[in-house]
Amino acid sequence: MRVPDGFVEVGDDGTVARFRRRFATTADDLWSALTDPERLARWYTAVSGDLRPGGTVRMHWPDGQVQDIEVVTCRPPELLVTRWTLDDGPLGEVTVVLRPDGDGCVLDLEHRGLPPMQAAGYAAGWHAHLAGLSAHLTGSAADWDTEFAAALPRYRAAADAAGAAGGRGGTPVTSPGGTPGGGRPGRSAADQ
């Protein structure tokens, strides 16, 4: 059975990348992995700042780039909404929803308002970061560059197909092996 890794959709308010992953851990542990600076540094990037609504979290990327995001909503351990901007303008809103599921927890991640020309790069980045999160939670390792390089062509094709559909519906992305990979935003398709 082939399982969609992510979903890319073009709409009136820009491009949306969506992901769903199930992890064999509790909502509290998953929330900690998503919000504790020490844990985030292991699978995402170094962060600092204020996780309260209205606060700012600063992401320190390995290439030296620094990016601030605004916390819109923070309701542990179920909902985190952040607003992203770059020097040249808005980069959308990221919503993460956690919900217990039996002996595990489901994570839904949506990055809404992506510029269409950068959507594939951000979607592949989230895909690679989610692989890193999965590895972190299981005590294994994931290589972001390898995950990103493998995912990018599939997300480019999905973004192209979604754009060709005129924004009507989205395009799922499925890994060749049929199992979900896991999602570093920050690279646009043009950067590749």
pLDDT of residue 164: 59
pLDDT of residue 165: 56
Amino acid at 146: T
Q: What is the token pair recorded at 9?
A: 């959709």
Whole-prediction pTM: 0.85
CA distances from 169 to 38, 97, 159 (A): 38, 22, 11
pLDDT digits over 77-97, tens only?
Answer: 999 999 998 777 788 999 999
Token pair belonging to 96:
């993460």
Centroid of chain to Cα 71: 16
Identify the DSSP state of 36: -
Computed from CA positions of residues 5, 122, 154, 160, in that sequence, does the dihedral angle turn out positive or negative? Answer: positive
What is the pLDDT, as a whole number, of residue 86? 78
**190 against 151, higher pLDDT:** 151
Domain boundaries, the chain: 4-171
Residue 57 pLDDT greater than 80, yes or no: yes
Alpha helices, H only, the chain: 27-35, 37-43, 119-138, 144-164
Mean pLDDT in the chain?
A: 84
Please give the share of the chain, as a percent, with pLDDT higher than 70: 82
Q: In the predicted model, is pLDDT for residue 21 greater than 80? A: yes
More confident residue, 162 or 47: 47
Q: Is the pLDDT of residue 174 over 50?
A: yes
- In this structure, the number of other CB atoms found within 10 A of the CB of residue 190 comes to 9
Task: Tokens for 145, please give them.
Answer: 């560059």
Asked whether 64 and 45 are in contact (CB, 8 A), the reply is no
22-54, pLDDT tens digit by residue? 999 999 999 999 999 999 999 999 999 998 999
- Class (C level, CATH) for 4-171: alpha beta
| Structure letter (DSSP) for residue 78 | T
